[in-house]
Chains A and B, each alone.
Chain A
Amino acid sequence: MAHKMSVFPKIMKSHSPPRPTRSPAFSRLMTAAPLFHPRYGFILASMSTTFDKPVLQVDRLDVRYGNFQAVKQVSFQVKPGEIFGLLGPNGAGKTSTLSAVEGLLTPTAGAITVAGYDSQREALYARASMGVQLQSTSFQPELTITEIIRLYAAIHGVTLSKDRINSILDDIKLQDAGAKRFGQLSGGQQQRVSLVIATIHNPPLLLMDEPTTGLDPQSRRKLWERIEAMRAKGHAILITTHSMEEAESICDRIAIIDHGQIITTDTPQAIIDDNRDNPEVIRASRKGRITLEDVFIGLTGDAIRS
């Protein structure tokens, strides 16, 4: 799906269709960062010129650790306003692919572009174009939530006043947590803070590595709503997950990766339909109807991976 909506609604307001899923409070949070700077005359919203182009383009990516090839010729793209799920068993190559996109490791071969920037040659610009929510996020344990938000905003060139930070904390229902340390928050609260920090600069691309792991159903649903709200604004979102329910619920397209290679890429429903008659999938089926999990197990096998 390609929503013709801007990540930067302030500039593109007249072209934006209604956005029913977004709460006004969250909307304020998301529209805060991109501004015209009086000194430099710079409008960050010029990113909106690249609407129909993929925000993330991964082209024939290879990642090798010594003699072990973790990722082989992986290619996919994520467009604005799209949630793309990367699914695979443990050790399939998801994290290696994501790490290469994040710039945490150097690919052996292939190309990655983020918002048009080459992730190797223009690494800082590529990193400035993405927000990342890591699987196990850790921030400096001595800093308060307010200080952490202010630090990461400053790294992205965003200056936040005290009122603005309070408003952000209000939006994520953590109005009393500003003076707390990250380790004092619950798992769900930590995820909300991580998401705020990942999106503080309103990036065109958001990477989320198993964002709902360890969350209770309520927190998970709330997080899905936030992710969908970001999609509605035109963010491109890449998610890795082990939850088939999550992939089916929120992903517009998914890729199933195994042994470092993408087996299939399509919408969840199309993948189910295409594999409905696959004997391995039928054998994996447990409830009399084919689910995405059945297809996943049918395609990747039922052996437990380390």
Chain B
Amino acid sequence: MSSTMTSTAIPASANPVAPAISLAPATSVFTSLLRADLTTQWRNRRASIMVILIPSIILISWKGLVEKFGGAFVLSNCITVGLNAIGLMGYTNSIARDRDKGIFQRLRITPAPRWTIMVSRLTVQLLMIVMVTIVLFIVGYQVDNIHMQASAYALTFCAAIVSGAVYLSLGQTIVGLIRNAETVNVTTRLVFFLFIMTGMFASFGALGQIVSDIAKWSPYGAVQRILADSLNPGAWKAQSNMALLATIGYILVFSIIGIRKFQWQSSK
């Protein structure tokens, strides 16, 4: 026989009429879902390439600003744009689309633990964060001559993962609060545009002091700050700690709202 049961759990139900049903181990369910989600991501690689391409193009075009503002400032802004794109455009829209198509409902009626369904999706996005960060490090190094210490790259790498969680959790909040896929799509684009525009222009001081102060502690500003200071660990100070705290705060608040409000079924 070429088919096999790969079950581990052999529960003895308290109910005497309950038959012994086997459940696949959660790790093997997770692995299968992850393989499927990675395949999906690979077949949607045009969207993934865009997510990498946009911050790379900005980084290349900002070569002239490196001397004026410093490599850490330029690179951190570009990584922030990439993380924004992953969380708000990639993750959020794929969740909204699959919910709309009933793919989650189909998975929910299987014995797959529900956490495996979402963690698998998040793992794929985590891989995207890793890829975008590495590509931007390479582009910055090769094209813009942004040279950092190895420890700075390592620290920034960790900071990028924490920072990516802000936008993934923000995306989760958006799909939690909005059940219509098209409205989610429009909202994420608007939020993406708003963050990029206010974050970038405010950091250049083009929007006045008040907006600049607000933007500094926004999800864009806080993330950009910890990335910039991670790239330049010597400059890490009290304000960097505050930015890190703000980032963790955003993750907690967005995650709680996003998980509590999330519905597996879209509104028709």
| Chain A interfacial positions (CB closer than 8 Å to B) | 32-35, 37, 40, 42-44, 46-50, 53, 102-104, 113, 115-118, 122, 124-125, 127-130, 132, 134, 136-143, 147, 150-161, 163-164, 204
Q: Which residue of the partner chain, among A35, A43, A118, A156, contacts B111 with CB atoms under 8 Å?
A: A156
Chain B's nearest CB lies how many Å from the CB of A148?
Answer: 8
Chain A's nearest CB lies how many Å from the CB of B33?
Answer: 7
Chain B's nearest CB lies how many Å from the CB of A75?
Answer: 17
Q: Is the CB of A158 within 8 A of B4?
A: yes
Residues of chain B within 8 A of A141, CB atoms compared: 101
Q: How large is the interface on B (under 10, 10 to 19, 20 to 34, 35 or more residues)?
A: 35 or more
Q: Is the CB of B103 within 8 A of A139?
A: yes
Chain A's nearest CB lies how many Å from the CB of B142?
Answer: 32
Chain B's nearest CB lies how many Å from the CB of A85?
Answer: 20
With CB as the reference atom, state the residue of chain A lying closest to B7.
A157
With CB as the reference atom, state the residue of chain A lying closest to B108.
A104
Q: Which residue of the partner chain, among A49, A128, A159, A163, contacts B21 with CB atoms under 8 Å?
A: A128
Q: Is the CB of B18 within 8 A of A116?
A: yes
Residues of chain B within 8 A of A154, CB atoms compared: 6, 24, 28-29, 31-32
Q: Tell yes or no: B13 within 8 A of A by CB.
A: yes
Residues of chain B within 8 A of A134, CB atoms compared: 102, 105-106, 109
Q: Report the separation of the CA atoms of residues A246 and B44 in the bound assembly, to the nearest whole angstrom.
A: 41
Q: Report the separation of the CA atoms of residues A40 and B33 in the bound assembly, to the nearest whole angstrom.
A: 24
Residues of chain A within 8 A of B43, CB atoms compared: 142
B1-25 toward A: CB 8 Å interface, digit per residue (1/0)? 1111111101101011111111111
Q: Is the CB of B106 within 8 A of A159?
A: no
Residues of chain A within 8 A of B15, CB atoms compared: 113, 116-118
Q: Is the CB of B109 within 8 A of A158?
A: no
**A-B pairs with the 7 shortest C-beta distances?**
A116-B18, A157-B24, A47-B19, A154-B32, A161-B2, A128-B111, A142-B43
Residues of B18-62 at the interface with A, using a CB-CB cut-off of 8 Å, are 18-25, 28-29, 31-33, 35-36, 39-40, 43-44
Q: Is the CB of B19 within 8 A of A116?
A: yes
7 examples of A-B residue contacts, CB within 8 angstroms: A35-B1, A116-B18, A124-B111, A137-B102, A147-B36, A151-B35, A163-B2
Q: Which residue of the partner chain, among B19, B28, B29, B101, contacts A46 with CB atoms under 8 Å?
A: B19
Q: When A53-B17, A113-B15, A128-B23 are in contact, do A152 and B110 touch as well, CB less than 8 Å?
A: yes
Q: When A35-B3, A42-B20, A49-B19 are in contact, do A124 and B113 touch as well, CB less than 8 Å?
A: yes
Q: Is the CB of A50 within 8 A of B23?
A: no
Chain A's nearest CB lies how many Å from the CB of B25?
Answer: 8
Which of A33, A157, A204 has the largest number of chain B CB atoms within 10 A?
A157
Chain B's nearest CB lies how many Å from the CB of A14?
Answer: 20
With CB as the reference atom, state the residue of chain B lying closest to A101.
B109
Residues of chain A within 8 A of B7, CB atoms compared: 37, 40, 42, 157
Residues of chain A within 8 A of B21, CB atoms compared: 44, 47, 115, 117, 125, 128-129
